Amino acid sequence: MGVAGVIFLLLALLGFFLAWKRTTRGDEAIAVARYTDSAVWGEDELVYHKKRNDRMEIALTFDDGPHPYYTPIILDILDEYGVSATFFTVGENIEYYPKTAERLLESGHEVENHTFSHARIGNMCYGDIMSEIERCEDAVSAVSERKTKFLRPPQGQMSETVKEVIKNLDYRVVLWDVDTRDWAHTSPEDIRDNVLSVVTAGDIILMHDFIGHDSPTPDALRLLIPELIERGYKFVTVSELIDGNP
């Protein structure tokens, strides 16, 4: 093979690599890029990825907690900057970590429903889905006497049955349109840069207060929050973003 042959082969390999990279990134980037409306699934405004507004409001959301180590650290950081957020809690974790749950529920941040056992509800039957949501609601009520009203299905899994259950329970679904990918141990600097490159008013930003070890989330928040404040963004809870009241 001559020099031209080698160059051709390298270019072909590069082409394949770029095409592959685009495909995988495309799949991962769905949450950032795909949703442009304030709600999907028609007229009933049942499922939110964002809620546009002209008040520079955005919502930080934290899934999977409470976590005995990371949740308090995140609460301290939010306090430090005086910003509000929403926690989509797992009922089981409220029961495992009652002290952390109490602090979270007394913090004034919004606490919502991420099912009882972090269940993959996309393939579950009506009764099982309802039980997952209600058992999480019961765990929250046991600590605080407040009820949850927004569901974030684990992994964003939806189905017609999920939709039916949330309608009957008078819930709405809150997904996200900016995924920080903190769950994949993205570096704090990359999380900051990625969010800042896509963020607009009305965004619902996905983060996690329960990541097994070496969570990048606290450091990412310290980098991100001051930048967002400087750009004029206001941090509101999911209820404030969607319904205009806490």
Closer by beta carbon to Zn ion, 57 or else 209 = 209
By CB under 5 A, residue 182 contacts Zn ion: no
Q: Which residue is nearest to Zn ion (CB)?
A: 63
Closer by beta carbon to Zn ion, 89 or else 161 = 89
User: Is the link from the previous residue into 218 a cis peptide, with omega within 30 of 0?
Assistant: no
Q: Considering 118, 182, 208, 209, which one is annotated as catalytic?
A: 208
By CB under 5 A, residue 57 contacts Zn ion: no
> Is the C-alpha dihedral spanning 157, 53, 57, 220 positive or negative?
positive
By CB under 5 A, residue 137 contacts Zn ion: no
By CB under 5 A, residue 65 contacts Zn ion: no
* Catalytic annotation present for 63: yes
By CB under 5 A, residue 179 contacts Zn ion: no
Q: 215 near 68, Cβ under 8 Å?
A: no
Q: Considering 63, 64, 177, 179, which one is annotated as catalytic?
A: 63
| Binds Zn ion (CB under 5 A): choice among 91, 154, 188, 216 | 154
* Catalytic annotation present for 208: yes
By CB under 5 A, residue 63 contacts Zn ion: yes
Q: 136 near 114, Cβ under 8 Å?
A: yes
| Binds Zn ion (CB under 5 A): choice among 64, 112, 179, 209 | 64
* Residues catalogued as catalytic: 63, 208
Q: Which residues of the chain form contacts with Zn ion (CB under 5 A)?
A: 63-64, 154
